[in-house]
């Protein structure tokens, strides 16, 4: 048996995107870096719900994802580029190709998991679309899909996520765990 043989042929009609040119759904890639062993590191943004574009960096060869500075502020393009370049200079990951797009239940769980980490505070925590920037590579969903999911969660689980309307649109807030 030969090494590195493909067990399932890829149909000719299903082109495989190259990591060097791939853009995750719902994101706009502004820069790409090459890691030491060839993995691609992306600098990207998504639709801004705050009027300002915030950026993230993600490696397609390893699990590196960054969307906040060391002071827990969203990254500017320059900060994301600096983080991506530093990661690319040290990462020895081989190119793994483009990550598979998760099925909807798995994508919902990624969003729920991201929201759940904010339930440990003492008060509600506001949710912004930019909070999902680091997830865009793994989530591969558009901003309208994320907003629709948040609205659905707010309707079905108001103890977890609430939605309020204001002049600028819908504001979402993760609710803390009930404390006895």
pLDDT at 7: 46
Output the pTM of the full model: 0.81
Q: Are residues 86 and 110 in the same domain?
A: no
Q: Flag whether pLDDT at 50 surpasses 80.
A: no
Q: Is residue 13 part of a domain?
A: no
Question: Is 10 domain-assigned?
Answer: no
Rounded CA separation 77/65 (Å) = 15
The domain total for the chain is: 2
What sections of the chain are H helices per DSSP?
77-90, 104-116, 136-139, 143-156
User: Residue 131 sits in a domain of what CATH number?
Assistant: 1.10.10
Structure-derived torsion over alpha carbons of residues 121, 169, 138, 36, reported in degrees to the nearest 10: -90
In a domain, 84, yes or no: yes
Taking residues 93-115, what's their average pLDDT? Answer: 92
80 — pLDDT class (breaks 50, 70, 90): very high
Burial code (b: 16+ CB inside 10 Å, e: under 16) for 123-147 equals: eebebebbbbbbbbbbbbbbbebbb
């Amino acid at each position: 048996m030969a090494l590195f043989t493909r067990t399932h042929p890829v149909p000719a009609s299903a082109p495989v995107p190259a990591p060097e040119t791939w853009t995750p759904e719902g994101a706009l890639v502004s820069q790409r870096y090459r890691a030491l062993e060839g993995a691609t590191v992306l600098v990207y943004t998504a639709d801004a719900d705050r009027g300002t574009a915030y950026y993230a960096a993600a490696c397609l060869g390893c699990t590196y994802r960054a969307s906040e500075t060391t002071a827990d502020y969203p990254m500017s393009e320059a900060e994301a580029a600096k983080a991506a370049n530093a990661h690319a200079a040290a990462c020895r990951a081989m190119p793994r190709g483009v990550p598979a797009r998760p099925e909807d239940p798995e994508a919902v769980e990624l969003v729920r998991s991201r929201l759940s980490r904010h339930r440990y505070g003492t008060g509600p925590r506001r949710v912004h679309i930019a909070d999902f920037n680091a997830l865009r590579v793994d989530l591969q969903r558009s901003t309208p899909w994320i907003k629709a999911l948040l609205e659905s969660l707010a309707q079905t689980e108001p103890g977890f996520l609430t939605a309020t309307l204001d002049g600028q649109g819908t504001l979402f807030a993760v609710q803390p765990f009930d404390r006895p």
